[in-house]
Structure 1
Amino acid sequence: MPNNIKRNGPRSAPAGARLKRDHKPKAAVAKPASPAGDGLKTRDVAVSALFSVLIEHRPFDDVFATVSAGRDLAPRDRAFARLIATTALRNRGALQAVLSTYIAKPLPEHIGRLDEILLAAAAQLLLLQTPPHAAISLAVDQCHADTNGKRFANLVNAVLRRLSETGQGRLESLDNVALTFPDWLLSRWSKTYGAAEARQIARASLVEPALDLTVKSDPELWAERIGAIVLPTGSLRCAQAGRVEELPGYSVGAWWVQDAAAALPVKLLGDVAGLSVLDLCAAPGGKTAQLAAAGAEVTAVDKSAGRLSRLRDNLTRLGLSANTVVSDALTFTSETQFDAILLDSPCTSTGTIRRHPDILYLKRPEDVAALAALQSKLLDRAADLLKPGGTLVYCTCSLEPEEGEAQVDAFLARHTNFARRPIMLDEATIPMPWRTRDGDLRTVPSHFADLPEGLRGLDGFYAASLVKSS
């Protein structure tokens, strides 16, 4: 990774950290990296991914796949590298505030990956219960290997030793929500949901989520075999699942990974057996799999050939099939119209911060309007591709009303031949608090708060069912 990029803003530590005991970063149970030589490679993958997100502003999943690809890490080490990086991103504000108390002087601009090395080490020491000697010595080794960071090796050693001795109490006194969340996003949520609920949503968004699975059949059977619970929505939830590929049922294609909220929009289409269904913006393919498993004749469209290739691989593992088309949804054409359409539109993804904490650092206020404009065009295109009498389900994983309720209101104003169809599923599947006044779906990360710790939360999703007149 390049290490000479000039960073914006002063190099001094954050001043005046806000203290509040309402939200304390929680320690995670980490599986340490293999002891024989791979510890440094593991930390280097984590730090490289952090640098790419925070300095180069690149999506975490993309950069993590890139930086870990050539390192020949064991699956356990790769998972630990990912855990270090995502833990650091979720708790960056509080971790930086603690680190700043041990750095007396402002740092110069060209410091290589020093910030990310310290951040990753702090996450290990204060949140992942990594033995201090391992976290500190490996961080110092990383400094020595960094062209612009090696002059700070003694500083890193001193700071991290003090952090390991007295940092825990300081961390627990800090308000990680206020320190980590961008002000513009908290302000938006306060306006939309109220200040109290906005804070609950933010807190839930900073907790590492459990693993959710969608099963083709027999959820109770697979829950018992996997050691999961069956949620009221029908999804399976596992607290500590380990490697997905090693779980019972993976090799025989009994289930696929899909957040419980993401599994709900397809349900709004009702019985799709035998229907021609267009899945626009289909990758990564969880909804395509749902439609195919329900007996639909699915056409899955996505502009990314690579993502569609992975979608096809997953369908093959599941024993399912769909017609896949590499195309921009805006320019996709078909000789015939479809009985039903699912449009899972590109969006700011602010409802999925719990799974993708890099969103906190990559999204900007202006992205909301830009993506809302794209969503409007996609909805208009979907309307043309739908048969009279057919159903269009529009959904996003955004918590912003411009990408949800307001988007659908504007669509209905443009297309008078469409009408909303309120949710018709039972209240056990979609509780009343998850339904808007117009009968649309709206989930938030703070839902499922009554479940045991480690099993709480839900991605933020919006979905509306729109019927075209005959």
Structure 2
Amino acid sequence: MAKPPRSSKSRQSPSDQASPVQAVDDQARRDKPGFAVRKVAADILGNVTYKRRPMDQELDLGSGHSGFKALAANDRALVRAILGACLRHRGEIAEILDRLLDRRIPEKTGRVLDILHVAIAQMLYLDIPDRAAVSLAVDHAGMDRRAKPYKGLVNGVLRRLGREREDITAGLDAERLNTPQWLFESWSEAYGEETARAIVRAHGQEAALDLTVKADPEDWAKRLDGAVVGLGSVRLTKKGAIDTLEGFSDGAWWVQDAAASLPARLLGSDLSGKKVADLCAAPGGKTAQLAAAGAEVTAVDISKSRLKRVSENLGRLSLSAEVIAADLREWKPTEPFDAILLDAPCSATGTIRRHPDVAWLKQPYDVETLSKIQAELLRRCFEWLKPGGTLVYCTCSLECAEGEAQIEAFLNEVETAELVPVTAAEIGGLTASITSQGYVRTLPCHPADAGGSNMGLDGFFAARLQRI
């Protein structure tokens, strides 16, 4: 196997400068079908894993990666698929590279590791021929000034993987490798190792697309070739451009995971005439639910840009709410609310199925920091309830510190708060997602319907409290 050189100089000597012939060859590589896609995928992968930039931010067509925005729609879809495979199987790919390399690739070698991760993801987890993945990876390494000295290594490593894949991939513990150790230990402690492994297996599958409909989910399931899951969500069996689906332009539904739709339901199906606050409201799915149930909704979020999207979606749905940009630690209402939905800022580890970068972006200190913010917001916002009013606290986190532990500490401290347990019947018969205390705790490995024919939910925690 080719070995990496001991060192490489960052400056090129005059003899290393690209000749006119070399420049033509380089341009030919850039124009090679599929090259731009792989280059963009490797760039974004490096930005996510090393610069800690959220993938959604990189893929934003307004403010994201310039190379991604320049691609055609089908090429952007391929970039997403490659990144999804890279991040869902990141631990496996790293272990495979350890088996293939005699020594670690030094730092400051350009995109070498990202190039290898992108190529291996294609070879092992996507329906892309080895020869195409290898050829484009070698071209990419040759075009990167700092990676160029490793072009031979890239070629040798990938070709060996192609020849010996069964031996090289034998015995991989994918469930442990593809999850940061601290997360796996956290889930094992909370739910047991068997369930932790089931969670990781669920993360390995791309999440389904769920819709919340204003009315008649059975009819919309037939129209859109889907199935009714959760408490009346419609799960689509096929994916496509959202804005081309029937009902989009008419504002008949909005995209929202079936688990994410449950917390708002805990306030009741008819909220006519009630003043309800949706706190930390963006992206607005819960605001839409509350407005559709007849509530006079006040939607508050710290992000003006995200609230702009909330307002746009409400406009499409022909729903209304008072939208306020404010920090909840400083803002307070002019009068108390009948009900409050607090979707507190959290680590979002429950959304790894659809946001696989979260597993590699978050650290234990994020949970610790966010837990303090959640506790502060819960105590502050509870005081905004009318006597007898209801508050639903929820997070899209799998960490007990952001769910069960928060509520237990709160109930021990606040004498005017009482837990109102949730029953399985209130959430569509999802028995597995109700805890013995009466909390809602959905896991990615849980069934999404009472019959268990549809599997997979975002990880959510929700608790219902009453002010007495």
Q: Give, as a single letter, the amino acid of the residue that structure 2 aligns with 1:465.
A: R
Give the aligned partner of residue 223 of structure 2.
225
Give the aligned partner of residue 106 of structure 1.
104
Indicate the SS of the match to 1:347: coil
82-91 or 416-425: bigger deviation: 416-425
Indicate the SS of the match to 1:467: strand
Separation of aligned partners in 1, 2:313 and 2:361: 28
Within the candidate set 150, 153, 164, 1:152 is matched to 150
Q: TM-score by structure 1 length? A: 0.87
For 1:282-301, list aligned pairs within 5 A.
282-301=281-300
Separation of aligned partners in 2, 1:69 and 1:379: 42
Separation of aligned partners in 1, 2:408 and 2:289: 27
Separation of aligned partners in 1, 2:75 and 2:170: 28
Separation of aligned partners in 2, 1:172 and 1:302: 48
Give the aligned partner of residue 47 of structure 1.
42
Question: Does structure 2 retain, via aligned residues, the 8 Å contact 1:206–1:353?
Answer: no
Separation of aligned partners in 2, 1:351 and 1:256: 20
Q: What is the deviation of 1:115?
A: 0.7
Q: What is the deviation of 1:324?
A: 0.8
For residues 110-146 of structure 1, the C-alpha deviation after alignment (integer angstroms, 9 at most, x for no partner) is: 1111111110111111111112333222222222232
For residues 303-329 of structure 1, the C-alpha deviation after alignment (integer angstroms, 9 at most, x for no partner) is: 111111111112222222211111112
Unaligned runs of 5+ in 1: 1-10, 12-34
Indicate the SS of the match to 2:70: coil
Q: What is the deviation of 1:198?
A: 1.7
Separation of aligned partners in 1, 2:424 and 2:189: 29
Separation of aligned partners in 2, 1:459 and 1:70: 27
Question: Does structure 2 retain, via aligned residues, the 8 Å contact 1:284–1:308?
Answer: yes
- In structure 2, do the counterparts of structure 1 residues 105 and 423 end up closer, same or farther at CA, with 3 Å as the change threshold? closer
Superposed CA RMSD in Å reads 2.4
For residues 199-240 of structure 1, the C-alpha deviation after alignment (integer angstroms, 9 at most, x for no partner) is: 212221222211111111121222122221111421111233
Give the aligned partner of residue 17 of structure 2.
none
Question: Does structure 1 retain, via aligned residues, the 8 Å contact 2:430–2:450?
Answer: no
Q: What is the deviation of 1:454?
A: 11
Give the aligned partner of residue 347 of structure 2.
348
Separation of aligned partners in 1, 2:365 and 2:218: 44
Pair 1:76-2:74 in alignment: yes
277-286 or 415-424: bigger deviation: 415-424
| Aligned positions, number | 436
For 1:49-198, list aligned pairs within 5 A.
49-65=44-60, 66-68=64-66, 71-167=69-165, 170-171=168-169, 173-198=171-196
Q: Give, as a single letter, the amino acid of the residue that structure 2 aligns with 1:344.
A: D
Question: Does structure 1 retain, via aligned residues, the 8 Å contact 2:230–2:259?
Answer: no
Separation of aligned partners in 1, 2:103 and 2:427: 57
Q: Give, as a single letter, the amino acid of the residue that structure 2 aligns with 1:44.
A: K
Separation of aligned partners in 1, 2:340 and 2:116: 48
Structure number with larger C-alpha Rg = 2
The share of aligned pairs that are identical, in percent, is 49
Question: Does structure 2 retain, via aligned residues, the 8 Å contact 1:42–1:80?
Answer: yes
Question: Does structure 2 retain, via aligned residues, the 8 Å contact 1:38–1:77?
Answer: no
Question: Does structure 2 retain, via aligned residues, the 8 Å contact 1:126–1:164?
Answer: no
Indicate the SS of the match to 2:297: strand
Q: TM-score by structure 2 length? A: 0.87
Q: Give, as a single letter, the amino acid of the residue that structure 2 aligns with 1:41.
A: A
Question: Does structure 2 retain, via aligned residues, the 8 Å contact 1:209–1:455?
Answer: no
Give the aligned partner of residue 468 of structure 1.
467
143-152 or 319-328: bigger deviation: 143-152
For residues 135-160 of structure 1, the C-alpha deviation after alignment (integer angstroms, 9 at most, x for no partner) is: 22222222223221122222222322
For 1:260-271, list aligned pairs within 5 A.
260-270=258-268, 271=270
264-273 or 63-72: bigger deviation: 63-72
For residues 157-211 of structure 1, the C-alpha deviation after alignment (integer angstroms, 9 at most, x for no partner) is: 2322232333256436411111121111111111111122222122212222111
Indicate the SS of the match to 1:101: helix
Separation of aligned partners in 2, 1:170 and 1:313: 50
Indicate the SS of the match to 2:406: helix
Indicate the SS of the match to 1:426: helix
- In structure 2, do the counterparts of structure 1 residues 357 and 422 end up closer, same or farther at CA, with 3 Å as the change threshold? same
Separation of aligned partners in 1, 2:32 and 2:148: 20
Separation of aligned partners in 2, 1:439 and 1:46: 44
